[in-house]
Every structure is written in structure tokens, then in C-alpha cells.
Homo-oligomer: A and B are copies of this chain.
Amino acid sequence: MGLSPDELSARVRKGDPRAVARAISLVEDGAPAARELVGQLHRHGGRAFVVGVTGAPGSGKSTLVDQLVATVRGAQLTVAVVAVDPSSPFTGGAVLGDRVRMGRHSDDPGVFVRSMATRGHLGGLSQATADAVAVLDAAGRDVILVETVGVGQDEVEIMRLAAVTILLLVPGTGDDVQALKAGVMEIADVFVINKADRPDADRLMEAVESSLALRQAGAGEWQPPVLKTEAVRGVGVEAVWAAVGRCREHRGVHDRAGRERERWASRLRDSVARRAGVLVAERIPADDWARILSEVMARDIDADAAADRLLARAFSGRGQ
């Protein structure tokens, strides 16, 4: 499809699945046309309900997401899944994954599944995911489920896209608990103990509840519930979705614009920081890079002090 951003944008807004897929590929590749496209689509977004699902590898994210898709479809809403899977060079990663994952929903036009691959430029994953959500939002999807491993800076940024975030924990996996950063804990709105038929489920539930009880909750602030599921058998899934809905309603009443504003402010800060880094690096002449790098390697100066010196020059418009 050699469409202009205008044409592609128009087709995306009609919900054409091929146009949606094409648009997401563009943003994933960081193609120049992608920025104009996202700029246009952003004007028509803001309607979709974006829900994050995060947890360590093996916590059952895909299974829960699959069940949530069925629940959402049962309510006659359209849904998109954006799975941020670090792609594997062994399995062929994202593309194969999407077909497998569609599974029982593969004949349902109300379900759109897309994995985001890294395609080499690691830092761009959170940006590409934000753009993919913007595409799906403008395409009129009612619910967008964003699934990601809850570790790392990228993932925390990605989770900021969600209005409500579900965190999966699994009993008896020390690794699982270890793998979850405090930052992710703080982002979660609904805690789910998955594989709740395992022996340590109650203990984990109590641990999470005591941890939550220690938080200083402000007046009118949402109190995250802790729920049990066996996602494989569908047990507890409806209750999770109901809790997600309650959280959304609660925020609608108590915190209408504040959280939304904080989310966009955070997006904007990230974007400024990322772009500033690129812009400034480009302003530094190759000779300066080479000279100071040699000094770092000769151990005359450490890397951060060297960076400060380069920046001082870049900002003073080539002084000294």
C-alpha cells in the first residue's frame, strides 16, 4: 500500500484492518511518514479504554489477555491487543506469535492482535507502542489491551499509556517477585494472583495486601484490590474485568483530569528528553567526540565528566 499519510489516516479512521496493520508497521519502523500520520490520528483519538497487563515471563499474561478478550467481546465491544514481546531471533518472534495468539479469535473482526517487535532500535519500543495505541484508538477500538513484561524503563513508560493497569503475580516463584520493580508495583491498579491453585497463593495474597496497606493513600484515591485467578480455566477473569471497570469509574468521579494530565505530562517529558539527546549529540562535532573519547580511555577523565564537558560546549554555542 503506497498510500500518503492522508489516505492512510482516512482508512485507519474507518477501521480498515489492513490500513491499521500498515500504520503500525510504519510507526514500528520509525518511518518518516509515521510522525505525520500519528500527528493526524492523535486529533481523532482519546476514546479508547487502554488497559495494561503486566507481569514476569511465565506469569500467564497471554492467557489472561485471551480470556479478557472473550469477556470484552461478550460485552459487544471491539478490542485490540498490543503485545510488547521482546522478539526472539529463534522463533521469528512477533509475526508467528500473532497468528498463534489469535487462536479462537482469529475469525472475529472485532479482535485485532499485534505484537510489537524491537527491530533493532531498542530505545524506540515505548515510542512505537505509544504510536500503535494512537493508531488503534483512532481506528475506533473500544478497548486496547497492552501486554508487557513488567521489567525495565521501556516497560514502565509503556504502562503509562494505560488508564488502568493489571499486575500478575504467581505464587511460589521467588523470581517472579524479584523481577518486579517497585516502580511497577506503584503503577498497578489491580493485583492478580494467577495460578491461584498453587500452594502459596494465600501467603502471596497476604504479602501483597500488607504491602498495599503500608501505602499512604490520599483521600478519594483508588485502593487496588488483590484478586485470585486461574486464567487457564477462566476462573476469576470476570471479577478482574469488573475491578478494572470499577477503577475506571472511580477515577472518572474522583480524579477526572489529574491522572490523564499526569500521564501526558510524563509522555511529553520522555519525548523531550529522548529528542534532546539526539539533537545535542548531532551538534557535537566528530572531532570533539574523538578527542574526549581518547581522554576517557587514557583515564584522564571519566565518561560522565566528559559528557558534561561536551554538553557545556554544545550549549555555549562552541565556546572555549
Contact = CB atoms under 8 A, between A and B. Distances in A.
B122 A153 contact: yes
Interface in A266-280: 267-269, 271-280
Contacts of A264: 293, 296-297, 303
A190 interface: no
Contact of A89 (B86, B127, B149, B211): B211
A99 to B, nearest CB: 15
Interface centre among A264, A268, A281, A299 (most CB of B within 10 A): A268
Interface string A74-93: 00000000000111111101
A153 B151 contact: no
Interface string A213-236: 000000000000000000000000
Contacts of A269: 281
Nearest to A314: B276
A134 B302 contact: yes
Contact of A276 (B89, B277, B302): B277
Given A261-B297, A264-B297, A307-B272, A177 B90 contact: yes
Nearest to A150: B86
Interface centre among A93, A274, A303 (most CB of B within 10 A): A303
A57 to B, nearest CB: 4
Interface in A106-156: 118, 120, 122-123, 125, 127, 130, 134, 149, 151-156
B302 A39 contact: yes
A239 interface: no
Dominant SS among interface residues on chain A: helix
B152 A305 contact: no
B181 A122 contact: yes
A274 to B, nearest CB: 7
Nearest to A45: B299
Interface-centre pick from A149, A174, A178, A269 (highest chain B CB count, 10 A): A178
A173 interface: yes
Contacts of A192: none
A292 interface: yes
Nearest to A58: B175
Contacts of A208: 90
B297 A89 contact: no
22 contacts: A38-B304, A39-B301, A39-B302, A42-B301, A43-B299, A57-B179, A86-B151, A87-B178, A88-B178, A91-B177, A257-B297, A264-B293, A268-B293, A268-B296, A268-B303, A268-B306, A272-B281, A274-B277, A275-B308, A276-B279, A276-B281, A279-B315
Given A86-B151, A260-B297, A272-B311, 4 more contacts: A38-B304, A39-B304, A122-B181, A275-B304
Interface of A: 35, 38-39, 41-46, 56-58, 85-91, 93, 118, 120, 122-123, 125, 127, 130, 134, 149, 151-156, 173-183, 185, 207-208, 211, 257, 260-261, 264-265, 267-269, 271-281, 284, 289, 292-293, 296-297, 299-308, 310-311, 314-315
